Structure 1
Amino acid sequence: MGFLTRWAFAFVLLALTFNPTPYNYIQWVRDYGGTNLSVAVLLGLVLAIGYIIYLRATLRSIGAGGMVLVLAVVGALIWVLHDLGVLRLNNSSLNVWLGVLALSVVLGIGLSWSHVRRALSGQSDVDDVDD
């Protein structure tokens, strides 16, 4: 599973949770969660499992400082694109999608970082050893 696959799953996880369209978990819970409480709880738990997997792997591989650094690089890239006139930031829906994209890049890099480090250095990360 390559970086693009890991990033795509992170993007889908974040977009399913929240996006500027009416088709997301948060909006669905606001509108229908009271009448479908069991489904809302089940879907919330499934999303929580996805976040736990991604956040735990990201925190273990690049840490909180690495997450901030990757987010800063993505933010600087957006800033450069805006300064060059490639990107306009006056559309609030686009801004939300950019936020989802930026966070998914952080999670995708976090989940992939051990593979990148092994490819660059030839050294494996071993956090847990099974006997």
Structure 2
Amino acid sequence: MSFILRWVAAFILLAATYNPTPYNYVKWVLGPQGDSLSLMVLAGLLLLIGYIIYLRATLRSIGGIGVILVLALVGALLWVLYDMGLLDLQNSSLNTWLGLLALSVVLGIGLSWSHVRRALSGQADMDDVDQ
């Protein structure tokens, strides 16, 4: 259940930044400028903090090669769904959502991988060990 929560949080972070609807940070900032610059900066900083947490944890736990492997696995799954006729890639809005889903899976796995490794091997990951 904890993986699902981490994945959903990653999806919300990515979708809040950009999605095909008019309700996202990028369209808000690039839209007509009102007197809400302070809110835009605050929201941007909150998103940046979320990205730093997720990206740092992902790169430390699965590394760059792990990111590529997870993206390749998700891409292969989408390819299979397309070949079986279950997925139509003509809709650009759907493609954007699929991209958000793929990236959120990478970030969710990256944030959860240390917990999975500890459960499977009984060993904890440590970055800095004080003696």
- Output the TM-score relative to the length of structure 2: 0.95
1:28-107 aligned within 5 A: 28-33=28-33, 35-107=35-107
Q: Deviations over 1:60-91 (max 9, x none)?
A: 00001100110110011000000000111000
What percent identity do the matched residue pairs reach? 72
Give structure 1 stretches of 5+ with no counterpart: none
Match of 1:11 in 2: 11
What amino acid sits opposite 1:97 in the alignment?
W
Contact 1:62–1:110 under 8 Å retained in 2: yes
Structure 1's consecutive aligned runs of 4 or more residues displaced over 4 angstroms after TM superposition are: none
Contact 1:11–1:101 under 8 Å retained in 2: yes
What amino acid sits opposite 1:69 in the alignment?
L
Paired residues in the alignment total 131
What amino acid sits opposite 2:100 in the alignment?
V
1:20-31 aligned within 5 A: 20-31=20-31
Cα distance in 2, alignment partners of residues 44 and 14 from structure 1: 12
- 2:31 is paired with a residue whose SS is helix
Deviation (angstroms), 1:22? 0.2
- 1:105 is paired with a residue whose SS is helix
Deviation (angstroms), 1:119? 0.8
Cα distance in 2, alignment partners of residues 103 and 34 from structure 1: 32
Contact 1:20–1:97 under 8 Å retained in 2: yes
Deviation (angstroms), 1:128? 2.9
Give structure 2 stretches of 5+ with no counterpart: none
Deviation (angstroms), 1:33? 4.5
Structure 1 window deviating more from structure 2 (99-108 vs 119-128): it is 119-128
Cα distance in 2, alignment partners of residues 115 and 94 from structure 1: 32
Contact 1:33–1:40 under 8 Å retained in 2: no
